[in-house]
């Protein structure tokens, strides 16, 4: 695993630059669609449950198909899978834009679109995670992940959101038409990548996706470092679900800061994330990825305590900026550690376990946050989140130890290999 002093930046020219461009363009389109879908749903019905169902169906496929998507990503040519999925999603969203323009939109159609797009995303995201180590050197993985995540945050948070009202003014179908174009552009960029043929061990007779998923979970469970990262991610995202679901209540209710205060808090979080992307290479070079993750989780816990105890908008804005900065360091380095740690032929399955647990934890956290706010006050979800982050940091203790060996995959299908 990469340690302090082992990081370097990936080259912008060539494969990584195209992958980065595809990710940023696609995230821009996702931001357009993500903002426009609830608005369109609200224009079609005034029933909150139906409107919420559109958003919920954007999460459900990860719980149902997440592990399957990881297993398929380990079987196929990841580059081909990615551009094919993006091309299909572009055609689907383009067809939906035509339906909206012709007045044929309905809540049922919105739910079907959200569910189908996220189902396809389970394959795309796991394939992308598995493909990146084939495009950049091992020592450049941290910088590559930081650049990808920072670019996506800029495209989605700073550029995409303000463009939505302009597009909606041009017609309800415009954001979806623009999203379809971004999918097709991203597909073309990924298709242009030139990578070697992926290594694939010959699967024994009788090998099934179920067995391959089980083998991936066994490998994850046997490796102390991967198991610690996965447990920490799950606990962290339960807390994040509680915080995100109730942040508007904390800012507009407990702080009495109104919508302007909420906008300031959201902006501070986004700005903090961008700062974290810039600081990541320096921090990781100085501390190494494992200590950086521990530092990030510890500082985030402190920021959450401030957010839940200091009744001041200025303090909340500062706490969320720090929280966002440390969150970017957390995300970049946990992803990098996973890519470095997991056996190459099982990376899709390992990443799918991370994502599935993350998505599954968020709805649970949202329910817990709502219950805590109702029972004990509107600031208590932030303190509940801090408690989950304490548990998350505790789960990271095995990851801190430099002598934890890489566990070979417990699999008759996969070639046993250590970290790359």
As a whole number, mean pLDDT of residues 318-337 equals: 94
Are the CB atoms for 296 and 322 separated by under 8 Å? no
Q: From start to end of 248-383, where are the E strands?
A: none
- Six token digits for residue 121: 């995303």
Domains along the sequence of the chain with CATH: 15-192 (1.20.1250.20), 215-400 (1.20.1250.20)
369 alpha-carbon distance from chain centroid: 21
Task: Say what the pLDDT of residue 419 is.
Answer: 33
Q: Is residue 413 over pLDDT 50?
A: no
Q: What are phi and psi of 413, to 5 degrees?
A: -100, -35
Q: How many CA atoms does the CB half-sphere of 164 hold within 13 Å? A: 20
pLDDT in tens, 173-213: 999 999 999 999 999 999 998 765 455 555 555 567 888 88
Task: Say what the pLDDT of residue 196 is.
Answer: 57
Q: Round the average pLDDT of the chain to a whole number and report it.
A: 84
Query: Any residues with CB less than 8 A from the CB of 1 and at least 6 apart, and which?
Result: 225, 289, 290, 337, 340, 341, 402, 419
3-state helix, strand, coil in the chain (%, to 5): 80, 0, 20
Task: Say what the pLDDT of residue 314 is.
Answer: 96
- Of 229, 233, 253, 245, the residue nearest 382 (C-alpha): 245
As a whole number, mean pLDDT of residues 256-280 equals: 89
Query: Any residues with CB less than 8 A from the CB of 307 and at least 6 apart, and which?
Result: 250, 315, 316, 319, 320, 323, 379, 382
As a whole number, mean pLDDT of residues 95-107 equals: 93
pLDDT band at 8 (very low <50, low <70, confident <90, very high): low
How many other CB atoms are found less than 10 A from the CB of residue 375? 8
Q: Is the dihedral of CA 20, 23, 25, 28 positive or negative?
A: negative
Helix axes 224-249, 209-222, angle to 10 degrees: 90
The reply to whether the predicted model has a pTM over 0.75 is yes
Per DSSP, the residues of 305-337 read HHHHH---HHHHHHHHHHHHHHHHHHHHHHHHH
pLDDT band at 381 (very low <50, low <70, confident <90, very high): very high
Q: Give me the percent of the chain exceeding a pLDDT of 70.
A: 88
Query: CA 347 to CA 352: how far, in whole Å?
Result: 8
Of 212-226, 247-261, 308-322, 344-358, the range with the highest mean pLDDT is 308-322
Name the residue with tokens 């899978």: 81
Task: Say what the pLDDT of residue 417 is.
Answer: 36
Torsion over CA of 59, 217, 398 and 291, rounded to 10 degrees?
-50
pLDDT band at 92 (very low <50, low <70, confident <90, very high): very high
- Six token digits for residue 320: 């969320």
Vertex 136: Cα angle to 355 and 86 (nearest 5): 50
Are the CB atoms for 100 and 94 separated by under 8 Å? no
Task: Say what the pLDDT of residue 2 is.
Answer: 39
């Amino acid at each position: 695993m990469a340690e302090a002093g082992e990081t370097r930046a990936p080259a912008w020219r060539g494969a990584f630059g195209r992958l980065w461009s595809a990710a940023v363009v696609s995230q821009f389109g996702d931001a357009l669609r993500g903002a426009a879908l609830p608005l369109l749903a609200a224009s079609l019905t005034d029933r909150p449950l139906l409107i919420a169902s559109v958003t919920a169906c954007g999460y459900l496929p990860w719980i149902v198909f997440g592990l399957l998507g990881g297993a398929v990503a380990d079987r196929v040519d990841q580059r081909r899978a990615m551009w094919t999925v993006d091309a299909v999603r572009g055609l689907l969203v383009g067809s939906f834009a035509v339906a909206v323009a012709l007045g044929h939109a309905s809540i049922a159609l919105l739910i079907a679109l959200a569910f189908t797009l996220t189902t396809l995303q389970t394959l795309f995201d796991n394939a992308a995670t598995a493909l990146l180590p084939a495009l950049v050197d091992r020592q450049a993985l941290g910088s590559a992940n930081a650049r990808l995540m920072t670019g996506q945050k800029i495209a989605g948070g700073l550029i995409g959101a303000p463009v939505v009202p302009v597009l909606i003014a041009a017609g309800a179908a415009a954001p979806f038409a623009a999203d379809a174009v971004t999918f097709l552009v991203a597909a073309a960029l990924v298709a242009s990548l030139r990578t070697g043929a992926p290594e694939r061990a010959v699967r024994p007779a009788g090998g099934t996706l179920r067995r391959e998923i089980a083998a991936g979970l066994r490998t994850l469970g046997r490796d102390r470092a991967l198991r610690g990262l996965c447990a920490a991610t799950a606990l962290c995202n339960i807390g994040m679900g509680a915080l995100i679901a109730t942040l508007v209540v904390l800012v507009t209710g407990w702080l009495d800061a109104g919508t302007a205060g909420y906008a300031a808090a959201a902006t501070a979080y986004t700005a903090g994330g961008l700062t974290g992307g810039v600081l990541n290479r320096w921090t990781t070079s100085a501390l190494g990825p494992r200590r950086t993750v521990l530092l990030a989780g510890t500082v985030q816990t402190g920021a959450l305590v401030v957010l839940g105890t200091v009744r001041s908008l200025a303090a909340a804005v500062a706490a969320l900026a720090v929280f966002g900065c440390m969150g970017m360091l957390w995300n970049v380095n946990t992803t990098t550690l996973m890519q470095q740690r997991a056996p190459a032929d099982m990376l899709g399955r390992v990443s799918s376990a991370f994502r599935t647990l993350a998505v599954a934890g968020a709805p649970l956290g949202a329910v817990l946050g709502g219950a805590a706010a109702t029972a004990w006050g509107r600031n208590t979800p932030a303190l509940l989140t801090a408690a989950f982050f304490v548990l998350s940091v505790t789960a990271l203790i095995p990851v801190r130890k430099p002598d934890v060996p890489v566990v070979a995959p417990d699999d008759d299908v996969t070639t046993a290999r250590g970290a790359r």
